[in-house]
Structure 1
């Protein structure tokens, strides 16, 4: 198995494995109780702004319905980086999952598909930090700037798992699986 096969399950603080064959994706996509949410992010130079600014953006694509697809720029008051855009995309995906479950959808599993190993590792690290009671995390005495978004994601994951009985998994997907999501992002930009 390679990194593309790893799925981190936050409830178990460990890894489970899916094979990366198209049949697995088709199974998850056709399972009426599984919700696949694809995450993508990008950063662009905004040359029309003086001085030149970077503008990060994110997109989520729900395989089951386009009604929940979203794309947007990061708020200007946040660090404009790929890492923060990934977290915002995850937060939006979790809000969509919670919204669907609260509306009565019979969802038993939410699978986030991302090309970002960093995002999956951050979710794992944040869960470990909270379990170790070393909250809020600091680097060289300074509060980590994006940590509040990560903490909100953790709370939403907990709400899905313990409040609604929904499994939350992360699938490290190859870039080829994110073509539609990136297309949504490109159309937005």
Structure 2
């Protein structure tokens, strides 16, 4: 079993990403029903391609039976706790796409009280961390750089799209939205 740990870890990542995409799509649909609009849809397939290639490359190049890097796996586990906190903090507003409902203020809960893009920080650490944990430093460098480049572009688009919402009063009645329409 210890020899298969890289594949078990990557299987976990695949399952996690599938669950996240399903949750994101559920939230996207609900937000669109609430006057939401998508911004920057053209670059979204690049994220799907990047993440798919990242997982695929790790599956292709990882060697079974490599030593277990407990410290790196501990950092990865901490990142997953932070990921859940980040997603839970946005709740029904969390998507993998840029969806905005212009008359609703931004949520500033959880890690969003401290920074604008905690999810992007988590992914920016995670993308090079996992290949390093799997003994693939060249994949860590390649996908780390590609991810940062794509995130810089996306953050510019997202900050522009959300600018109007940053000025809304957090205590407005519309700030308390119960969740997706049923």
- In the superposition, the TM-score normalised over structure 1's length comes to 0.27
Structure with a larger share of its residues in helix: 2
Structure having the larger proportion of residues in strand? 1
TM-score by length of 2: 0.28
